[in-house]
């Protein structure tokens, strides 16, 4: 082992080929093209095959990273995907959207001296390879148990539960409020970052295994949880996400052209407003667009605005660059594409014309003070430093809350003071018998992989219940 | 697919009635609630109130005015064809209780939204007076049904071609002057609701209105349907669509309804051209 690593470290991280920034900033095609097999093999050979792999500790679902990477290095891509599937049902998604720099890659030992092994890119590579070639054997289904499970919400956590429980022999039905499955993966994250075809192909895979999908069904409205039990469901999983937009309470907040990122992205992604008028749903095409916030949602909004033809797309964020919660790659891509950042800036007021359309905003310059409850330094206003920004579209991406539609119409479900469902962190069990919950509706807006991890834990606990009891 | 089992053209083809096969929704729906419909893959999600439901037959009825691309597309759907997506029941149901003398005021297609509420109020034992209006006689809808659903019916037309000439608010004033009114329900175009509320406020009569802001999801997820009620931001799709009319900021609602005016015009014109070229 002593000399081998030295040699490996000489191979640099294989760059991800991607669309030129100027070109892609005006189209909705996916930004990276994906690694070629040769590059993937070379990249995989950079892994030191650590005995105690730190990378695995960084992965919330403990993908056996060295094992799958070894298969890639040997050109055994199908073995690699089968290995990942054992713990991660959506690798094509995770490879693209996990905040790898904070998780697996952030812990990779190779990263201590140089660039870490591109675990995310490799995961994406093997998943895409499998989707294009379909060589891996489907996992085997256990004999039917005769038990019925309802999964509410078809985001990553709901899909994970459905996938796990169908294999364990239960009958699974997913209920989705929207007309298309996928949750945030479909209505929130844009096509240029996660092609919808990938999500639909995963859902199709579940349907082939026997999962029933019912769209257009708002649980809590079309049907209640108690009615589902009456219909014969033995257990219910709630993966309804954190679908409540946070709006701002400053003067002018309801002017035309001020909207939540949820609305903006849903119009563009789910309703395909970027193809208007071929698709019927319109979207406001801003010339000077301001997005408020600094997370993935803000990056996605600001980059969508460019693609919809904005002359300028600015991100106004109240803390500094160091605190940006978005994935590193997204910030980097946004900057390359021409998104401008205004750090330490907070909106004071929106101004409108006589038709009630937004034409500008007043911005307060901030500075960082003492750390707050979240451990981050609290932004405080710098007195007198106020400036104007011209804008005709403002997208608010400052967070999401718990949507009360389902939870308030359900008796016996304990909620915390912010309205999120209280669930056992290890099993996902809620206070209501036969009901589990996980993902953003329990943790608040988090990540795809955490939502999937919660789904996995709940699925195990639900299986125990269905075979042994509560 | 949600099949259309019955279709009727009303008000000279400017208003369409569809009875749609949607058993789950029919079973659950209450007066005041709405559905969101999408005609096909490329369609927009359009909110429409259920004008009627038949839980036994498993059908819901919608009545809509053809005002733009989506409703024009809906109009082209024949019996046997259907909507790709129908979601509901959405929104809060009307709070129905016996209060005594009630006035229901409806304008335009608002009458369709008003009908199930009126009927429920009467069934609850209220003495219901109805005032319905339209621009002209040919555009008036549901006169017979409204007559059956109320104790007294007044009809007004703007041009005087039928019933009392003038706006519904003039008849409303006369009724309010008689006194004893415990509740008013006003549903119609935004300016009409605004004036109804202005008037009932003078008489201190509590007034319910049903708001129709632009919606996307209808489940409280996007905030596009937000309205200001009593100085607070409310989401019409989950907190409404009915609100205390004396608290509603109608001017803001009116402005926000024009958000996509240019796009809607473009989309509608292109659709009309396309339809003509097919003929
Ligand atoms: C724009 C955007 C970008 C993001 N980027 C990233 C990223 O790069 N990396 C990352 O890891 N995370 C990212 N996230 C966060 C991540 O997407 C979420 O944490 C994750 O999707 C949560 O999964 P979930 O299954 O809990 O819920 P969701 O994905 O929110 O899915 C919930 C589903 O439930 C449905 N539903 C809700 N209520 C009902 C009901 N009553 N009846 C039936 N169905 C219902 C909803 O319609 C939805 O489809 C992003 C989020 C957004 C909004
Ligand atoms: C809760 C609710 C119940 C309604 N019930 C009825 C009803 O029973 N009968 C009826 O005729 N109309 C009803 N409406 C109004 C109806 O939704 C609109 O007329 C319809 O969306 C117009 O679509 P369009 O594409 O044909 O016209 P467009 O050209 O798109 O628009 C014409 C007008 O409709 C409004 N509008 C456009 N898109 C939407 C949207 N997604 N949501 C709401 N309004 C929109 C616009 O502000 C514009 O003024 C209701 C609206 C709401 C919110
Ligand atoms: S699932 Fe996410 S965190 Fe885990 S290895 Fe894959 S990319 Fe890394
Ligand atoms: S820490 Fe890095 S080098 Fe070690 S096994 Fe994981 S990916 Fe390979
Ligand atoms: S329509 Fe989206 S929140 Fe009401």
Determine the residue of B33, B112, B253, B264 to mutate for testing ligand 2's pocket, defined as the one with the most ligand atoms within 8 A of the Cβ atom: B264
pLDDT for position B162: 87
Q: d(Cα A456, Cα B277) in Å, to the nearest integer? A: 55
The pLDDT mean for chain B works out to: 92
Closest residue to A280, CB basis, from B69, B217, B255: B69
A420-455 tens-digit pLDDT: 999 999 999 999 999 999 999 999 999 999 999 999
Any domain includes A140: no
pLDDT at B23: 96
User: Are residues A280 and A251 part of one domain?
Assistant: yes
pLDDT tens for A170-224 read 999 999 999 999 999 999 999 999 999 999 998 998 999 999 999 999 999 999 9
pLDDT classification of A9: cutoffs 50, 70, 90:
low
Nearest bound ligand to the CA of residue A184: 1
Residue A463 lies in a domain: yes
Asked if A244 lies within 8 A of B38 by C-beta distance, the reply is no
> Of B86, B89, B264, which has the smallest distance from its Cβ to A221's Cβ?
B89
Name the pLDDT band for A6 (thresholds 50, 70, 90).
very low
- Name the residue among A222, A260, A404 with its Cβ closest to that of B222: A260
Task: Identify the CATH number of the domain in which residue A111 sits.
Answer: 1.10.1060.10
Query: For every residue of chain A, which 3-state class applies, written as one string?
Result: CCCHHHHHHHCCCCCCCECCHHHHCCCCCCCECCCCHHHHHHHHCCCCCCCCCHHHHHCCCCCCHHHHHHHHHCCCHHHHHHHHHCCCCCHHHHHHHCCCCCCHHHHCHHHHCCCCCCHHHHHHHHHHHHHHHCCCCCCCCCCCCCCEEEEECCCHHHHHHHHHHHHCCCEEEEECCCCCCCCHHHHCCCCCCCCHHHHHHHHHHHHHCCCEEECCCCECCCECHHHHHHCCCCEEEECCCCCEECCCCCCCCCCECEEEHHHHHHHHHHCCHHHCCCCCCCCCCCCEEEEECCCHHHHHHHHHHHHCCCCEEEEECCCCHHHCCCCHHHHHHHHHHCCEEECCEEEEEEEECCCCEEEEEEEEEEEEEEECCCCCEEEEEEEEEEEEEECCEEEECCCEECCHHHHCCCCCCCECCCCCECCCCCCCECCCCCEEECCHHHHCCCCHHHHHHHHHHHHHHHHHHHHHCC
Residue range B101-210 forms a domain whose CATH class is: alpha beta
DSSP state of B78: P
**Residues of chain A above pLDDT 70, percent:** 98
Please state the domain count of chain A.
3
Q: Kindly report, as residue ranges, where domains of CATH 2.40.30.10 are found in chain B.
A: 2-90
- Mark whether A324 and A265 lie in a shared domain: yes
Report, as an integer, the average pLDDT of A343-370. 94
Q: What mean pLDDT is reported for chain A?
A: 93
Pocket of ligand 3 (CB under 6 A): A 59, 61, 63, 65, 88, 94-95, 98, 100, 103-104, 119-120, 123, 449
- Do the domain assignments include residue A417? yes
Judge whether A336 is closer than 8 Å to chain B, CB to CB: no
Residues within 6 Å of ligand 4 by CB? A 47-50, 53-55, 65-66, 108-110, 117, 119
Domain with CATH 3.40.50.80 in chain B: 101-210
- Same domain for A255 and A344: yes
**Does residue A142 form part of some domain?**
no
| Selected residue of B42, B83, B86 to mutate for chain A interface (largest A Cβ count, 10 A) | B42
Residue A384 lies in a domain: yes
Angle at A302 between CA A301 and CA A307, to 5 degrees: 95
CATH code of domain B2-90: 2.40.30.10
Task: Give nearest CA residue, ligand 2 atom 24.
Answer: B68
Compute the nearest-CA separation of B228 from chain A (Å).
9
Q: What is the share, in percent, of chain A residues with pLDDT greater than 90?
A: 87
Whether residues A222 and B24 touch (CB distance < 8 A) is answered with yes
Please name which of B182, B3, B27 lies closest in space to residue B85, comparing C-alpha atoms. B3
Looking at the complex, report in whole angstroms how far the Cα of residue B275 sits from the nearest Cα belonging to chain A: 15
| Residues A262 and A367 placed together within one structural domain of the fold | yes
- Whether the per-residue pLDDT at A332 is higher than 70: the answer is yes
For position A8, what pLDDT does the model report?
A: 54
Is A416:A256 a contact under the CB 8 Å cutoff? no
B269–chain A Cβ distance below 8 A for any pair: no
Nearest to A277 among B85, B223, B266 (CB): B266
Inside any domain, residue A18 = yes
What ipTM goes with this model? Answer: 0.93
Across the range A6-10, mean pLDDT stands at 58
Domain housing A52: 8-133
Among A133, A168, A185, residue at a domain's last position: A133
Q: Indicate whether A257 belongs to any domain.
A: yes
**Which ligand has its closest atom nearest to the C-alpha of A452?**
1
* CATH code, domain with A301: 3.50.50.60
Q: Once rounded to an integer, what is the mean pLDDT over residues A220-236?
A: 96
Over residues A79-114, the pLDDT tens digits come to 999 999 988 989 999 999 999 999 999 999 999 989
| pLDDT recorded at residue A37 | 96
| Inter-chain touch A355–B219, beta carbons under 8 Å | no
Taking the Cβ of residue B258 and every Cβ of chain A, the question of whether any pair is shorter than 8 Å is answered with yes
Q: How far apart are CA A271 and CA B13, in angstroms?
A: 29
Residues A251 and A386 in one domain: yes
Q: Please, is A51 exposed, middle or buried when counting C-beta atoms within 10 Å of its C-beta (0-12, 13-18, 19+)?
A: exposed
pTM (predicted TM-score)? 0.93
Using the atom order of ligand 5, give the atom closest to the CA of residue B223. Answer: 3
Which DSSP letter does residue B245 get?
G
Check if A404 contacts B (Cβ < 8 Å).
yes
Q: Is the pLDDT of residue A1 over 50?
A: no
What is the best residue among A214, A241, A295, A436 to mutate for testing ligand 1's pocket, by most ligand atoms within 8 Å of CB?
A: A241
Give me the pLDDT at residue A7, please: 57
- Which pLDDT tens digit goes with each residue over B165-215? 888 988 999 999 988 899 999 999 999 999 999 999 999 999 999 999 999
**From A223, A281, A403, residue closest to B24, measured CB to CB:** A223
Q: What is the pLDDT of residues B54-113, one digit of tens each?
A: 999 999 999 999 988 999 999 999 999 999 999 999 999 998 999 999 999 999 889 999
Establish if A148 touches chain B: CB-CB under 8 angstroms.
no
Which tens digits make up the pLDDT trace of A51-87? 999 999 999 989 999 999 999 999 999 999 999 998 8
pLDDT tens figures, A270-297: 999 999 988 999 999 999 999 999 999 9
Q: Which chain A residues contact residue B25 at CB under 8 A?
A: 222
Judge if A346 and A382 occupy the same domain.
Answer: yes
Mean pLDDT on A2-31: 81
Looking at the structure, tell me whether residues A112 and A14 fall in a common domain: yes
- Which of A396, A425, A457 is the last residue before a domain boundary? A396
Per-residue pLDDT, averaged over A238-244, amounts to 95
- pLDDT value of position A14: 94
pLDDT score at A371? 87
Percentage of residues in chain B having pLDDT higher than 90: 76
**Do A78 and A203 belong together in one domain?**
no
A376 pLDDT band, cuts 50/70/90, is confident
- Position B254 scores a pLDDT of 95
């Amino acid at each position: 082992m002593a000399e081998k690593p030295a040699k490996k470290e000489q191979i640099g991280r294989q760059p991800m080929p991607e669309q030129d920034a100027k070109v892609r900033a005006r189209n909705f095609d996916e930004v990276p093209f994906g690694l070629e097999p040769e590059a993937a093999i070379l990249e995989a050979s950079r892994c030191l095959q650590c005995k105690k792999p730190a990378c695995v500790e960084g992965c919330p679902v403990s993908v056996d990273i060295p094992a799958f990477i070894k298969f890639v290095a040997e050109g055994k891509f199908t073995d690699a995907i089968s290995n990942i599937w054992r713990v991660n049902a959506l690798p094509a998604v995770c490879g693209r959207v996990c905040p790898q720099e904070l998780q697996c890659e952030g812990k990779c030992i190779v990263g201590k001296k140089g660039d870490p092994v591109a675990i995310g890119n490799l995961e994406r590579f093997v998943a895409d390879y499998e989707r294009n070639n379909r060589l891996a054997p489907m996992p085997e289904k256990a004999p039917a148990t005769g038990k019925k499970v309802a999964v509410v919400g078809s985001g990553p956590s709901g899909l994970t539960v459905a996938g796990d429980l169908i294999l364990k022999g239960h009958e699974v039905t997913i209920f989705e409020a929207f007309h298309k499955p996928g949750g945030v993966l479909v209505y929130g994250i844009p096509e240029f970052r996660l092609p919808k075809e990938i999500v639909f192909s995963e859902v199709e895979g579940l349907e082939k295994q026997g999962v029933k999908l019912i769209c257009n069904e708002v649980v809590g409205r079309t049907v209640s949880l108690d009615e589902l039990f009456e219909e014969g469901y033995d257990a219910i999983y709630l993966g309804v996400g954190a679908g409540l937009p946070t709006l701002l309470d400053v003067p002018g907040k309801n002017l035309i052209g001020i909207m939540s990122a949820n609305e903006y992205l849903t119009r563009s992604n789910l309703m395909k407003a970027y193809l208007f008028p071929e698709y019927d749903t319109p979207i406001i095409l801003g010339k000077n667009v301001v997005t408020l916030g600094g997370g993935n949602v803000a990056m996605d909004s600001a980059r969508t605005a460019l693609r919809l033809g904005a002359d300028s797309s600015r991100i106004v964020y109240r803390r500094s660059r160091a605190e940006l919660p978005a994935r590193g790659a997204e910030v980097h891509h946004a900057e390359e594409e021409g998104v401008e950042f205004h750090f330490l800036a907070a909106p004071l007021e929106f101004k409108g014309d006589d038709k009630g359309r937004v034409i500008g905003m007043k911005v307060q310059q901030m500075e960082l003070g003492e750390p707050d409850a979240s451990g981050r330094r609290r932004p405080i206003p710098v007195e007198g430093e106020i400036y104007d920004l011209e804008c005709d579209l403002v997208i608010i991406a400052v967070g999401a809350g718990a949507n009360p539609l389902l939870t308030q119409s359900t008796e016996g479900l304990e909620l915390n003071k912010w309205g999120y469902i209280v669930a056992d962190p290890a099993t996902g069990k809620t206070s209501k018998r036969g009901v589990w919950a996980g993902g953003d509706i329990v943790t608040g807006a988090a990540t795809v992989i955490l939502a999937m991890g919660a789904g996995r834990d709940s699925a195990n606990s639900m299986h125990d219940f269905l075979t042994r009891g509560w | 697919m949600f099949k259309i089992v019955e279709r009727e053209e009303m008000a000279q083809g400017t208003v369409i009635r569809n009875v749609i096969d949607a058993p789950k929704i029919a079973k659950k729906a209450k007066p005041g609630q709405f559905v969101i419909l999408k005609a096909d893959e490329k369609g927009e999600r359009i909110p429409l109130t259920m004008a009627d439901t038949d839980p036994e037959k498993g059908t819901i009825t919608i009545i809509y005015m053809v005002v733009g691309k989506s409703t024009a597309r809906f109009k082209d759907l024949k019996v046997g064809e259907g909507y790709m997506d129908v979601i509901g029941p959405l929104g809060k149901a009307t709070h129905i209780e016996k209060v005594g003398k009630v006035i229901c005021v409806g304008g335009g297609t608002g009458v369709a939204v008003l009908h199930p509420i009126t009927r429920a109020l009467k069934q609850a034992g209220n003495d219901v007076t109805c005032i319905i209006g339209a621009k002209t006689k040919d555009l008036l809808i549901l006169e017979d049904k409204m007559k059956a659903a109320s104790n007294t019916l007044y009809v007004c037309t703007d041009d005087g071609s039928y019933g009392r000439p003038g706006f519904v608010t003039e008849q409303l004033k006369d009724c309010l002057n008689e006194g004893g009114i415990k509740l008013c329900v006003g549903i119609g175009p935004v300016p009409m609701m605004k004036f109804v509320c202005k008037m009932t406020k003078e008489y201190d009569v509590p007034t319910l209105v049903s708001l129709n802001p632009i919606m996307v999801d209808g489940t409280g997820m996007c905030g596009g349907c937000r309205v200001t009620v009593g100085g607070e931001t409310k989401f019409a799709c989950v907190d409404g669509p009915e609100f205390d009319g004396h608290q509603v900021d109608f001017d803001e609602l009116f402005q926000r309804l024009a958000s996509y005016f240019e796009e809607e015009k473009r989309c509608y014109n292109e659709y009309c051209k396309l339809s003509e070229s097919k003929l």
